[in-house]
A and B are shown apart, each in its own frame.
Chain A
Amino acid sequence: MKMGGVCKIAVVCLFGFGLQGCSGERSALDPAGKEAEELAKLFWIMLSGAGIVWLFVLLATFAAVRFPSSTFAGIRPGLFIFISGVIFPTICLGGLLVHSLRLLPGARDAKADMIVKVSGEQWWWRVSYMSPGGEDVVSANEIRIPSDATVEFELTSPDIIHSFWIPVLGGKMDMIPGRTNHLRLHPEKAGVYRGVCAEYCGTSHALMGFPVVVQTQAEFDAWLKLEKSDAVPPGSPAAINGERLFMSTGCRACHTVRGTEARGQIGPDLTHFGGRKTVGAGILANTSANVEKWLRDTGKVKPAVRMPEFNMLHSGETRDLAAYLTGLK
């Protein structure tokens, strides 16, 4: 029985992978918020404990197989089973349980500093911020929040279950039709991160992400003020033609651009589309080329998406539309 060799390989694998870097803009082990930090800490504690228990079991098995039974003459089997199988786990698990229960929302009484409503759609995010004036500021497919504030997300969905997850900030919460769920997160480090839909929600579940921008309160306030304003009118001739196409080819039936006659509610609000980091809910960087690609090959970029492909437009028209959209800063 080559148990020893297996142990060694496994330990190297485990800790090698684990330590050498769980970095990244969406790693739960590289936290940028209070909740994620507590959970990452909990994970490391549990991992060390689990490692010790695992090694103990393997060594015990190895010894049991290798050494003659006389070696264990001094150990009473009942006692061995009782201590290692009952007493020890009861204490460890009880401790872990108490510690983890304190991290549940019901055991905290933090007040939320601001509320962000997010609705999970197939396969994008409808976002609205409560402005200081009280009215809602509607946006989509990107979350901006101030650091060092407790943000409460109000999560809903009109039809299919989704799950809202920003790994670097904390746990996830499902968005269930007919219910409103609440998730409180407390970002601490400014930066740009990623969030995803974690619950399987149909064909393009894999293509439902969003960038998360954590910024200072002042930056956030300035941004919110801008986001609340109407869209800027197009500047270049290309963009002016793009706006004309936007209004005439049917885009406005589904999309809203505030300050224009486009008031569709089916798709994402595009009032400040140009200021966002991605196209198609977190899947492509927001460049003109990608916007054109999205308009032409919508169904290839995101299978089964409800938006039709606008490939009846010739390439110049697509370029103008992209110029208009990316100009909506």
Chain B
Amino acid sequence: MSDIHQGQAHVQDAQTERLREVWKNPVGWRRFSEVNNSVIGHWYTATAFAFLIFAGGLALLMRAQLAVPDNDLVTAQLYNQLFTMHGTAMMFLFAVPVFEGVAILILPAMLGARDLPFPRLSAFGYWSFLIGGVFVCGSIFFNAAPTGGWFMYPPLTTDTRQSGIGADIWLLGLSFIEVSSIAAAVELIVGVLKFRAPGMNINLTPLYAWYVLVVAGMILFAFPPLIVGDYLMELQRAFDWPFFDPKRGGDPLLWQHLFWIFGHPEVYIIFLPSIALLAMIVPTFAQRPIVGYSWIVLSALGTGFLSFGLWVHHMFTTGLPSLSLGFFSAASEAVAIPTGAQIFVLIATLALGKVVSSTPLLFAAGALAIFVFGGLTGVMLALAPFDFQAHDTYFVVAHLHYTLFGGMIFPLLAGVYYYYPFATGQKLSDHAGRVAFWLMFVGFNATFLPMHFTGLRGMPRRVFTYPADVGWDWFNFISSVGALVFAAGFSVVLIDVLRPKKQKADLDGNPWNAGTLEWLAQRDESFGMRTIPIIRHRYPIWYQKNFVQDVREGRFYLPDAEDGRRESLVTSVLDAEPEQCARIPGPTFLTLFAAIFLGATFIFATYHWWISTLASAFLTLATILSWLWTGTGEIPEKQFRDIGLQRRVPLYRSGPASTGWWAMFITMTGDLTAFLSLMFCYFFYWTIHTDFPPGADGSGTYWLAGSACLVILAWTSTLLARRLNSAGYPTGFRSALYAGAALGILGVVAMLAGPWFSKMDPTANVYPATVWAIVIWVAVHTSVGVIMQAYCIARAYAGRLTARHDMEIWNVTLYWHFACFSAVVALATLVAFPNLT
């Protein structure tokens, strides 16, 4: 008997040893080639917090300036840089990245996966975020930071005399970061849909994962309009294309639409992941499952959808028709319902549980008090007439900080206290936590509560000073003192997090006695889960028999790494049935290089050094291609892999069954959103002008119509190539792709020839500028499609793309579906619409 045990123990030790070897983290300077989610997640989160501290420091400077009336601590110019950078850094460099960082860190363990599906993409996203963030924040030390506010309204920001290089830094630096956010969104969606442990049906999926799914989906639809806005504004700043210049047919309001179609969902993108943390924390400290799981799911989905119908409530005072204001006012009220329902779910869970008092729960309760208050002022502001008064005043500053502190900072700090043992194996001090909480809670309210009144007393936002005789001084002074108290509280947390702690024995991995899967991950092992378990309950640690022991002893799937490869399980979307054993790529420097080159492309463009920009863009492309070539689509040495428990699953899948196909689909959904935003601009100009488009045949109708036909043919060839490949005709496959690439190139040439030969001058008026912007967009997409075709041809020659192992051509075909669709829509509009009006 004991021999058997001993034998088992030996086997287990050998398995663990092999896993350890495969998942070993690189050391020394090679650490920068790291891609593993636990390391990248740490870096991501820590960097985001560093930006929080930076942006918080700017806020303290602002509060110092406003502490007394007529203060001259900072100049007007510097103050304007301060509030611009505060908002920008908080939104783009802290709030969204910290969601991505935390999700990358804890999601795989929560789902029972060893890593996310595309670890290299996470690493690439991280490096992009770091480079872009340092570039944008660094500008303030050279007095070159943007001054246009985080909302960057033109014409102030398109006036190069008044906005300087700061605006370019904002536009290009943040576009770069937006790209990395979308990369993270793709990664997280595929992770939640396809990397759940076997048996983790959608109704057993942890609530955090549901929220991640909703939020990542929202990023996909919210960020692209802003990217289009950045594209148009940079075209105006660099080349004087008049998109926002009313003298040449542009309209500054268009930017506001694009910005807030992004900006309002953004608020919920920030809020939902934090309430998701509460949805994990509350059940743990109530020591019972969440009450009303489905309510949370429906609230998350409902909030996600409704949040896209609110954007105009940031534009209530721009003079839009009352009817439009009414629609947005109504939707803004409606969104309060799902938001509120989540709160009551948490309360009900606490009521029916046996509450264990703790620091995370204290932060959670504080969050609730603050958030509900901010939500209630939000209900006020959503009523258009009241907003006429409160808009752009300190009342709004107060409101938004109540929602963001209650909906983001406090829940996140609850999360920090809760997940600190998960991330480091040690607990933060409860005593310090309480002190920090009360300092922050009191400091926060002292800062922001008085702002409601300064706002209603007529104090506008974004003022660098104010006069002494209008009854704002005491309120402002209290706010400034409160900010210091808050900062003191935050420092306590910071010191507690950073101070060296005595290495205590591993707290059994589960110090809060939580019920969810992530607490089984082995913190000191980079492979995370010892084995990928079968899930039968939402809180498997609480309710599945012998669960912890079975996992620790490797009694489920993939307890071993006998092939010497990093592996995790791919499962089906609804039922989480094992479908494939995915080989996950390991450390590489390519992602770091790709991010550096891409960063250089954006940074050089800021300074209008076009040759260096082009050179870097080329290097970026080359690096990404070599990353794809070496890291994806690998043909495995065998077809099937024994994953344990008498199950064999394939090692290679292509088409809709593969994670790569899903990633392409999701990326292209975001890309399509961007394209539709661009087309929205076209029709937006049409609604406000009687001479847009100016008349038929303005842009080389025949060229464009011809181009549309060529693109359709290129797409057909690609489709044909995929069929021929599956049917086993490699020569036909390659010929079809050659034809497709040639047709694609001809299509690009023809579409550029249209406006070129019609002598359309994009600086003359907004119509030619819009036509050129659309044509260039489509031309770039078609060209990328051609590069993809060439890639497939090369793969086929290299023997890496065969009839059986054909995921590249599947993904490229999928790309072409989208590219062809947008080309046809764009060109048909440009050709036909001028004749219709």
Contacts and interface: CB of A to CB of B under 8 A. Distances in A.
| A, B: real partners | yes
Interface in B350-366: 350-355, 357, 361-362, 365
A304 interface: yes
Contacts of A69: 351-354
Given A63-B351, A167-B458, A101 B326 contact: yes
B388 A39 contact: yes
A46 B380 contact: yes
B244 to A, nearest CB: 9
B507 interface: no
Interface in B247-284: 247, 250-253
B457 A27 contact: yes
A24 B473 CA distance: 13
Interface centre among B348, B353, B362, B391, by most chain A C-beta atoms within 10 angstroms, is: B348
A42 interface: yes
Interface stretch (B333-341, B579-587, B675-683): B333-341
B337 A171 contact: no
Contact of A24 (B295, B462, B470): B470
Interface in A180-206: 181-182, 194, 196-206
A23 B472 CA distance: 11
B797 interface: no
Given A42-B383, A97-B330, A161 B344 contact: no
Contact of A200 (B333, B350, B372, B461): B461
A110 to B, nearest CB: 13
Contacts of A38: 385
Contacts of B461: 198, 200
A264 to B, nearest CB: 21
A206 B449 contact: no
A174 B318 CA distance: 5
Given A1-B365, A303-B75, A170 B460 contact: no
Contacts of A85: 295, 337, 340-341, 343-345
Interface string B646-658: 0000000000000
Contacts of A178: 246-247, 250-252
Interface string A1-26: 10100100110011001100011111
A105 interface: yes
Contacts of A32: none
A57 interface: yes
A59 to B, nearest CB: 10
B463 interface: yes
B336 A89 contact: yes
A101 B329 contact: yes
A254 B393 CA distance: 33
Contacts of A174: 317-319
A1 B377 CA distance: 25
A326 interface: no
A27 B458 contact: yes
A223 interface: no
B368 A61 contact: yes
Given A57-B343, A64-B350, A105-B322, A93 B471 contact: no
B383 A68 contact: no
A29 interface: yes
Interface stretch (A74-82, A141-149, A224-232, A268-276): A74-82
Contacts of A97: 329-330, 333, 383
B156 A201 contact: yes
A112 to B, nearest CB: 16
A103 B292 CA distance: 39
A50 B341 contact: no
B391 A172 contact: yes
Nearest to A83: B344
A189 B197 CA distance: 70
B162 A81 contact: no
B337 A3 contact: no
A321 interface: no
B392 interface: yes
Contact of B457 (A28, A53, A60, A303): A28
Contact of B337 (A29, A90, A182, A194): A90
Interface string B773-787: 000000000000000
A291 B403 CA distance: 45
Contacts of A199: 153, 392
Interface in B278-300: 291-292, 295
Nearest to A122: B162
Interface residues of B, number: 89
A73 to B, nearest CB: 9
Interface centre among A53, A177, A182, A197, by most chain B C-beta atoms within 10 angstroms, is: A177
B333 A93 contact: yes
Contact of B456 (A10, A28, A94): A28
A182 B463 contact: no
Nearest to B453: A17
Nearest to B148: A200
A165 interface: yes
Nearest to A196: B460
A209 B232 CA distance: 33
Contact of A206 (B251, B336, B465): B465
B283 to A, nearest CB: 13
Nearest to B379: A93
Nearest to B475: A17
A289 interface: no
B329 to A, nearest CB: 7
A89 B340 contact: yes
A8 to B, nearest CB: 12
Nearest to B323: A106
Nearest to B76: A303
Contacts of B355: 64-65
A3 B369 contact: yes
Given A23-B471, A97-B329, A194-B458, A72 B385 contact: no
A222 interface: no
B43 interface: no
Contacts of A103: 385
Nearest to B390: A28
Interface string B21-37: 00000000000000000
B159 A65 contact: no
A219 interface: no
B755 interface: no
B344 to A, nearest CB: 4
B264 to A, nearest CB: 18
B175 interface: no
Contacts of B292: 77-78, 81
A64 B388 contact: no
A26 B472 CA distance: 11
B445 interface: yes
A206 B333 contact: no
A116 interface: no
Given A57-B368, A57-B372, A81-B348, A179 B319 contact: yes
A107 interface: yes
Contacts of B385: 38-39, 42, 100, 103-104, 171
Contacts of B449: 10, 13-14, 17
A94 B383 CA distance: 11
Interface in B142-173: 147, 149, 153, 155-156, 159, 162
Contacts of A198: 317, 391-393, 460-461
B607 interface: no
A101 B387 CA distance: 12
Q: Which are the 5 A-B pairs with shortest beta-carbon distances?
A: A171-B388, A178-B246, A106-B322, A26-B458, A206-B463
Given A64-B355, A198-B460, 7 more contacts: A27-B457, A69-B352, A80-B348, A81-B348, A100-B384, A178-B247, A199-B392
Interface of A: 1, 3, 6, 9-10, 13-14, 17-18, 22-29, 36, 38-39, 42-43, 46, 50, 53-54, 57-58, 60-61, 63-65, 67-69, 71-72, 75, 77-78, 80-81, 84-86, 89-90, 93-94, 96-97, 100-101, 103-107, 155, 159-161, 163, 165, 167, 170-174, 176-179, 181-182, 194, 196-207, 283, 303-304
